Chain A
Amino acid sequence: MNRHLLSIDDLSRDEATHVLDTAAELAHLLDDTDRAVRKLPTLRGRTVVNLFFEDSTRTRISFEAAAKRLSADVINFSAKGSSVSKGESLKDTALTLEAMGADAVVVRHPASGAPHRLAYSGWTRSSVVNAGDGTHEHPTQALLDAFTMRRHLGPPDRPGALDGRRVAIVGDILHSRVARSNVLLLDKLGAAVTLVAPPTLLPVGVGSWPCQTSYDLDAVLPACDVVMMLRVQRERMNAAYFPSAREYSRRYGLDAPRLGMLAEHALVMHPGPMNRGLEISAVAADSPRSTIVEQVANGVSVRMAVLYLLLGGAQ
């Protein structure tokens, strides 16, 4: 495996599958471990730094739990603040971390490509894990989403395969790093992805992505195995991406009637945090087919696998 995880494109299909299989094994191992301990000794003596230039308590906690369950030392470094807007602090922070001997840096940053800069500018020798950069990618989110899908949808004879499964990703694709990573990963794993959004929220050039696109959610829903709803920021309507929250919700929200259009086995997913009543109704979010809470738990397993393979696996 590559020394860094910056984009899903850093993984081959086999490597991605290996991450997901490893996550399943680690989850299983921990279930068997003495619950009072809940730790594996794999990364003892290694240091993982959570470097967050953007607020995301849930992602940070998930990585922190993953690293701690592998017995790594964890340093949380929150760099959100005025100095960051100048940008230079990325380099200074990297030099500091290098001096501290970080083995892996988990970085969340509002600028697309910031983890890439951290990995390849020669500022640090650490492995870099992208925990979400701007509107670029969020590879561990895609891995945990695929992990969740495999648990529910893999055929009994080939547990974990997503070949031929249909996934609709609905909402603000333009600004979504989750959508980018998911399209790349699900395509690698053999699933067929359809992006559903108003035309204003699809990026220029989306036609060359390995997926279909649609403006019509109702036409897409009945054939889906998974519908993944993305968070839509209300501020987007001020930039004329859509006229009003109400109109968005009517055309692209997962409400009760649309929930009823889904196949029996279909899953409802959301990377969180949700805007209940905008892109997803309470009835959809809380329905038995919703994996939203499970996604959080699976996030820890998948992030354990990533850290294990980047650090432990390399030894």
Chain B
Amino acid sequence: MSTTLVRGARLLGDRQGDLLIRDGLIVEVGPGLSEVGAEVIDATGLVALPGLVDLHTHLREPGREDAETVASGTAAAALGGFTAVHAMANTDPVADTAGVVEQVWRLGQAAGHCQVRPVGAVTVGLAGERLAELGAMASSAAGVRVFSDDGHCVSDAVLMRRALEYVKAFGGVIAQHAQEPRLTEGAQMNEGELSGVLGLRGWPAVAEEAIIARDVLLAAHVGSRLHICHVSTAGSVEIIRWAKSKGWDVTAEVSPHHLLLTDELAASYDPVFKVNPPLRGKADVAALREALADGTIDAVATDHAPHPVEDKDCEWDAAAFGMLGLQTALSVVQEAMVETGLLDWAGVADRMSTRPARIGALAGQGEGLVPGAAANLVLVDPSVRARVDPDTMASLSRNTPYAGMVLPGRVVTTLLHGRATVRDGVLQ
């Protein structure tokens, strides 16, 4: 029987309190708790949040173990305060069968840094032609509930409709990477004033918005649940807000980088800022922050996308899309949302733990800091500001766009079912 007493934390950033944890569950919450023989974690001055849940992580294994492995990616996740990640399906082989999703799930269990819930591909090989065996993945040991062809849009309207309908049988959700393929052939950066000046092919907002508009209508038509990945434009926010006002079952996520960075960074031609969907303009960033604050956007999801040096140390056109996110996500959200007064820590817990766990139908995660909840939690020191150093990251890759930036917040401790995966900022 292991017992842990977390003492003096600011629960959800608010009142000070203690948490008593026994056998992986929170058993008591309140001021002045004590327990003989319990291991005591002094959390004075730290904010306690439920363990973060990422809906959108690229762990790269199997296939690109030079960029990331399940072990290295989940280590980064734990250090970033996450207790669960959804591993995207665009591996090699693609996670489009029960066999592959079970492999990823087992690798996650073996590493033990956080819960790994594989995302299943919607279509075989992400090819957008025929449905993968969604039911088999759902019934597998991995218990897949989120399906996505992320990296590719399910652009065929009939296929998308069928997928939305089909996963209702087992409470699944389709997470759409909204990108109209014809409008974005060869696209390199946000289409706007700057793309014209830099001579980089534009990725227009309409290519995202048109797919989201179509898909919310499809979801409403067939009465299905729909999740939109990495929303990046003000127009997308408007469409999602409208869909929600209709009462349709639509959820959306935003990536940390879209909350903080803008397309102006492309003027450096440094591919560390190349990401899909691309960094957008200031007005988009403002709209995304507002939407996350008012709940139109449900969740922050990292879109953690590791790439080896050679895929970024080249000219812009040749570089891979994507940036690291797991170890900086909470700091970026603090900078963009908390320091600006848009969201309090309870709001952060809602958008980074409760709601993503609910969207992913992930039991044992995002249950909050209440008696009976699984003891997944993170202790954060919000008072420190530190310079981001890529070389200290647990990821096998170094493609963080925040290198050299000073960001607030430090994850001190992460508990996974009562066991410390991170202690004093060090992976256990």
* Interface residues in chain A, defined as those with a beta carbon under 8 Å from any beta carbon in chain B: 85-88, 90-91, 109-114, 116-117, 120-121, 133-137, 177, 180, 203-206, 208-209
Given contacts A87-B318, A88-B313, contact A205 B199 (CB under 8 A): no
* Among all A-B residue pairs, the 8 with the closest Cβ atoms: A87-B318, A113-B269, A136-B199, A203-B196, A205-B193, A87-B314, A112-B199, A135-B199
CB–CB B317/A134 < 8 A? yes
CB–CB A111/B318 < 8 A? yes
Given contacts A91-B313, A111-B316, contact A205 B196 (CB under 8 A): yes
A2 to B240, CA, bound (A): 48
Interface size on B, residues (CB 8 A): 24
Picked from A113, A135, A137, A209, the residue with its CB within 8 Å of the CB of B315 is A113
CB distance from B310 to the nearest CB of A (A): 5
Q: Which of A88, A112, A120 has the most chain B CB atoms closer than 10 A to its own CB? A: A112
CB–CB A112/B198 < 8 A? yes
Cβ of B314: which chain A residues have Cβ within 8 Å of it?
86-88, 90-91, 117
- Interface status of B197 (Cβ within 8 A of chain A): yes
Q: Which of B192, B198, B199 has the most chain A CB atoms closer than 10 A to its own CB? A: B199
A114 to B317, CA, bound (A): 9
Cβ of A136: which chain B residues have Cβ within 8 Å of it?
198-200
CB–CB B195/A204 < 8 A? yes
Cβ of B315: which chain A residues have Cβ within 8 Å of it?
87, 90, 109, 111, 113-114, 117
A167 to B146, CA, bound (A): 57
A204 to B204, CA, bound (A): 10
CB distance from A284 to the nearest CB of B (A): 28
12 A-B residue pairs with CB within 8 Å? A87-B315, A88-B314, A90-B314, A111-B317, A112-B317, A116-B269, A117-B270, A117-B314, A134-B317, A180-B197, A209-B196, A209-B197
Given contacts A204-B196, A204-B202, A208-B193, contact A112 B313 (CB under 8 A): no
Nearest B residue to A110, CB-CB: B317
Given contacts A88-B310, A112-B200, A113-B269, contact A205 B317 (CB under 8 A): no
Cβ of B191: which chain A residues have Cβ within 8 Å of it?
204
CB distance from A251 to the nearest CB of B (A): 22
- Interface status of B286 (Cβ within 8 A of chain A): no
CB–CB B318/A133 < 8 A? no
Given contacts A111-B318, A113-B315, contact A134 B196 (CB under 8 A): no
A109 to B314, CA, bound (A): 12
Cβ of B201: which chain A residues have Cβ within 8 Å of it?
135
For window 75-118 of B, CB contacts with A under 8 Å fall at: none
- Interface status of B254 (Cβ within 8 A of chain A): no
A110 to B317, CA, bound (A): 9
A135 to B188, CA, bound (A): 12
CB–CB B318/A86 < 8 A? yes
CB distance from B404 to the nearest CB of A (A): 15
Nearest A residue to B271, CB-CB: A117
Cβ of A90: which chain B residues have Cβ within 8 Å of it?
314-315, 318
Cβ of B270: which chain A residues have Cβ within 8 Å of it?
117
Cβ of A205: which chain B residues have Cβ within 8 Å of it?
192-197
CB distance from A283 to the nearest CB of B (A): 33
CB–CB B318/A137 < 8 A? no
CB–CB A87/B199 < 8 A? no
